[in-house]
Every structure is written in structure tokens, then in C-alpha cells.
């Protein structure tokens, strides 16, 4: 039996090779792996001895040879293959252990294109694909985490076809993601990230019990381990819908740096938000915006949940609390509710991955785009269009309203007063309907909108939304501007004694 080992990530490889050697495998290796194995006392054969041809072109060609690929690929169940292998002097290779050149690590550390090119693996993927194709007879190992199981199965004579098949699937996933990463990088470098092909690769974290509904299957996949690094389960199982709501709530709560931000979300939309001197006060004020919708909702806390906040949360039914962290006492208190689910990041403040792109499914395909982001300067540098300018507190309220609006389904308007959201209208087919819906809900709850700041994620096409805002005493408005009727909107704001600011940037969210 022979095993070919050629790895870039050499963790655990010496022990793996020693175990294979003890099981009677002859070890073949290349380059740096050969050197490491030889230095550690393993009787290893250099690939060039097998190929009868030296490594050449600065190591670019080492294993691309019939004595390697023939040994991997010939079928052990076909006599014609066995005869031909004997005639050609090709000996079987029964196990291939390969992981690929560190392309991702290279593009993260340098922009030197020559170095990047040299870290594109050629022989490695070829060997992986060859071994995977012949999984009926050959074991392909591409993950260091599989070393122990491979050895255990060989020792217990449990090297089943099903096991080799699973390793085969993992191998093709490995080469597919590697090639996708290279193609995406090249398109980003030379075509602005929008080439003729777009590859979206995710790694499964876990299956959800079901999808949006019980008759649908569902699972969570992550980019570059970004999710699992920042999602720790304390209590409960995150459902498909929980995950989308947590993401939406966390995006809003984390958008305010070190502020004590708390966001409550129901079905993907914010129904409460506040920033106060403490997280307890922030949650209390956020809950006032719409306590009816908050029932069974998802709460994101930009900080550490302590006991008093946990007690306040337990006054109603919340399905999920996602926070930077929890004190032990808070976990004990919240766990008194059997159905509540608790997740954390294990940090002091929420830290999102801020993915550089996003995409949405359309029938027969997907639309792909750069991620939208909101910079504080859009509000801080917004131009005042009216005679009246906003006060310092109004500007702070505008900033909060503007950021929340940018992360809320269009058409939307957000009203903020004293750093707490007091009304929100979202997902409406007209902006004035969003304004009216928000006002009506606030009035039903007895909330005072007078003196609030109003933000819209896109321009007001008519003055009617301004007129509606004036009726409830809105003091200042921020919107992108850009309507052919901007003059009418400005005139309306002046007539009502409001301050009106244009940011110059739209933030649709469909």
C-alpha cells in the first residue's frame, strides 16, 4: 500500500504519516512536506523517485505525471486496467492526503500579483480530483480534522465505501470552493467584482429544524467561518426565522458603535429601538414604541445583559435575546422562561462581519450587489434646506432615525425622539402611507411624537408626508433629496417651521 502526502497546512501531518507507516503504507511526498517528514524520521520517498523525473520550473511541476495520476486513477476492479498498470510499471497509490496552496492567506497579506499567482495550486487540485474520482479504491483526505478518523478506520478495518464516498464529496467541495475563491478574486481585481460568473460559497454550520415553514428544509451556511466565530448558543435552538431576525436586529443595534443600543425586531422589521444611558433604560424605552409587536420578538443588545435588564425582559414573552454577552445571573433569570432562546457573541459590544456583498433570489437566478452601508457623515454633513436648523439633540435623533431607516424595509419612515424610536412605518407601497401608518400606531399607543425627528430612506415624492408630519409636531426631517418636487417639499417644511436636511444618498431596502 502506498500513500501520497503533500500538504501546505502541515499541522498533524507528521503523526498522521507515522500512523500510516505503522500500518504498512509506503509514504510518497513532495517539496516541503517531504522535508518535514524526513526530518521527523519517516521513511519517505520523494515524488521525483516515483515519476522518474525531477521537480522543475521552480516546483511548478512535481506530480503531474502518469506514474502519480495513473497510480491514483487506474481501476482496481477492471482486469484491463490492472494489466495496463503492470505493463507500464505503474504502482497503485491507495491514499492521497492533500491540502492546497494558501491562496486566501496570500491575498489577505499582499497585493503582489506575482506572489498571488505562485500561490495558485495546480498539482494539488489535480491529485485531489483524481483520488476523489477513484474513491471506490482510493482514500482522499483534504481536511486535517479527518486524520484521526482515517487512522481509526484503517486500524479497525472499517474503511467502508460510504466513508470513502463522504471523503470524496468533501474533496470536491474543497476544490470547488478553492477554484471559486480564485475566480472571484480575479474578477474583483480585473472586473470590479462583477465578472461573467459569480460564485457564492458557504460552509454549513447546522441544519435548522425547518425553513420559514415546517414543510421546507433549511440550514445555515457561513462565509469564511464568520458566523460561528460570533454566535454562541446559551439556550435553545435557532430557527431559520430566528436567524434572519437576529441578523436584522443585530445590524441595527451594532450600527451605533459603543452606544447602549437595543433593537427589537418582529418578522424582520424593527418595532423598537433606543439609545439611553444604560441598556436597561434603552430596552425600556425601545419597548414603548410597540410593546404589542415586541411580544414574541427578537431583541439585540449592544452590550452585556445584566440581572436587572433580564428581569425587565422577563415581564413579557420574548422568543430570542441576542447580546454581546450575558452575566451568569442574567442567564439564570432569563432561563426561567422555558421557551426563550439566548445567544451571544462573547464580546463587550456586538461586532458584525459586515459582509462586502449581498444577494437576493429572483426567479431563475439572483441579483448580486455591493453591500449598502451608512456613514455618520451622511447625516453630519447633510445640507440644511430650510430657514430653521436642527438643535444638537435633533441632529442626534436624525442620525438614529436615518440609520434605522436605512436598515428597514422600504418604503419606510422612522420617528425618533430623545434617542428613542417612537414610531415606524415600513414596507408600504407609498411613503405617505408609511407616515400615516406610523402616526396611527403611535397615537393608538399614546406615544408623543411632537418634537421628534423624521427620517426617510428615500426622497419624498410629494409634500404630503411633510404635511402629515407637521400635524403631529415633527420638528426636523432628514431624507436623501433628489425628487423633481424637492422645492415643494422644502416649501412645506418652511411653512411648518421645520428643519429639513438632504443627505444626498438613498438607502432602499427591498
Residue 269 burial class via C-beta count within 10 angstroms: exposed 0-12, middle 13-18, buried 19 and up: buried
Please write down the HEC assignment for all residues of 409-462.
Answer: CCCCEEEEECCEEEEEECCCCCHHHHHHHHHHHHHHCCCCCCCCEEEECCCCCC
- Cα–Cα distance for residue pair 303/258, rounded to 1 Å: 8
Active site residue 133: yes
Inter-residue contact 193 to 187 (CB < 8 Å)? yes
- Whole-number Å distance between alpha carbons of 209 and 28: 45
Dihedral (CA of 485, 486, 487, 492) sign: positive
What b-and-e string marks burial along 87-116, b requiring 16 or more CB atoms within 10 Å of the CB?
A: eeebbbbbbbbbbbbebbebbeeeeeeeeb
CA-to-CA distance for 245 and 266, rounded, in angstroms? Answer: 7
**Spatial distance between the Cα atoms of 115 and 105, rounded to a whole number of angstroms:** 11
Q: Residue 509: is it exposed, middle or buried by C-beta count within 10 angstroms (0-12/13-18/19+)?
A: middle
Q: Which of 81, 91, 267, 288 is catalytic?
A: 267
Catalytic one of 10, 18, 133, 312: 133
Name residues whose C-beta falls within 8 Å of residue 109's C-beta, 6 or more positions apart in sequence. none
Distance CA 455, CA 274 (A): 15
Active site residues per annotation: 133, 267
Amino acid at each position: 500500500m502506498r500513500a501520497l502526502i503533500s500538504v501546505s497546512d502541515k499541522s498533524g501531518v507528521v503523526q498522521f504519516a507515522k500512523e500510516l507507516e505503522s500500518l504498512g503504507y509506503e509514504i510518497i511526498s513532495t517539496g516541503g512536506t517531504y522535508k518535514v517528514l524526513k526530518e521527523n524520521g519517516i521513511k519517505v520517498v520523494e515524488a521525483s523517485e516515483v515519476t522518474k523525473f525531477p521537480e522543475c520550473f521552480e516546483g511548478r511541476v512535481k506530480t503531474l505525471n502518469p506514474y502519480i495520476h495513473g497510480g491514483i486513477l487506474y481501476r482496481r476492479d477492471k482486469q484491463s486496467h490492472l494489466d495496463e498498470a503492470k505493463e507500464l510499471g505503474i504502482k497503485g497509490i491507495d491514499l492521497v492526503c492533500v491540502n492546497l496552496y494558501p491562496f486566501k492567506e496570500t491575498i489577505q497579506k499582499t497585493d503582489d500579483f506575482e506572489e498571488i499567482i505562485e500561490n495558485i495550486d495546480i498539482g494539488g487540485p489535480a491529485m485531489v480530483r483524481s483520488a476523489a474520482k477513484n474513491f471506490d479504491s482510493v482514500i482522499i483526505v483534504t481536511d486535517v480534522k479527518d486524520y484521526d478518523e482515517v487512522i481509526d478506520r484503517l486500524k479497525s478495518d472499517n474503511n467502508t465505501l460510504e466513508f470513502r464516498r463522504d471523503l470524496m464529496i468533501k474533496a470536491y467541495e474543497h476544490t470547488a470552493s478553492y477554484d471559486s475563491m480564485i475566480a472571484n478574486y480575479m474578477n474583483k481585481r480585473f472586473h470590479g467584482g462583477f465578472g461573467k460568473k459569480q460564485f457564492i460559497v458557504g460552509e454549513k454550520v447546522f441544519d435548522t429544524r425547518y425553513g420559514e415553514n415546517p414543510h421546507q428544509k433549511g440550514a445555515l451556511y457561513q462565509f469564511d467561518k464568520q458566523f460561528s466565530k460570533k454566535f454562541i448558543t446559551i439556550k435553545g435552538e435557532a430557527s431559520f426565522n430566528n436567524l434572519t431576525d437576529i441578523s436584522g436586529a443585530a445590524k441595527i443595534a451594532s450600527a451605533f458603535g459603543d452606544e447602549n443600543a437595543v433593537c427589537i425586531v418582529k418578522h424582520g422589521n424593527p418595532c423598537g429601538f433606543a439609545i439611553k444611558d444604560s441598556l436597561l433604560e434603552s430596552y425600556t424605552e425601545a419597548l414603548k414604541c410597540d410593546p404589542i409587536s415586541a411580544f414574541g420578538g427578537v431583541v439585540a443588545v449592544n452590550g452585556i445583559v445584566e440581572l436587572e435588564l433580564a428581569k425587565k425582559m422577563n415581564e413579557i414573552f420574548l422568543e430570542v435575546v441576542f447580546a454581546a454577552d450575558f452575566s451568569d445571573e442574567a442567564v439564570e433569570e432569563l432561563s426561567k422562561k422555558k421557551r426563550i432562546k439566548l445567544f451571544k457573541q462573547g464580546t463587550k459590544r456586538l461586532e458584525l462581519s459586515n459582509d462586502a456583498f449581498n444577494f437576493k433570489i429572483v426567479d431563475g437566478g439572483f441579483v448580486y450587489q455591493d453591500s449598502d452601508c451608512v456613514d455618520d457623515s451622511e447625516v453630519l454633513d447633510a445640507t440644511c434646506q430650510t430657514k430653521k436648523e436642527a438643535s444638537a439633540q435633533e441632529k442626534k435623533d436624525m442620525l438614529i432615525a436615518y440609520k434605522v431607516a436605512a436598515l428597514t424595509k422600504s418604503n419606510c419612515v422612522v420617528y425618533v425622539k430623545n434617542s428613542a424610536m417612537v414610531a415606524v412605518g415600513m414596507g408600504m407601497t407609498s411613503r405617505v402611507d408609511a407616515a400615516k401608518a406610523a402616526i396611527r400606531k403611535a397615537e393608538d399607543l399614546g406615544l408623543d411624537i411632537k418634537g421628534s425627528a423624521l427620517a426617510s430612506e428615500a426622497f419624498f415624492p410629494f409634500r404630503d408626508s411633510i404635511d402629515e408630519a407637521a400635524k403631529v409636531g415633527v420638528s426636523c426631517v432628514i431624507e436623501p433629496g433628489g425628487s423633481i418636487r424637492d422645492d415643494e417639499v422644502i416649501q412645506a417644511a418652511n411653512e411648518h417651521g421645520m428643519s429639513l436636511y438632504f443627505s444626498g444618498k438613498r438607502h432602499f431596502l427591498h
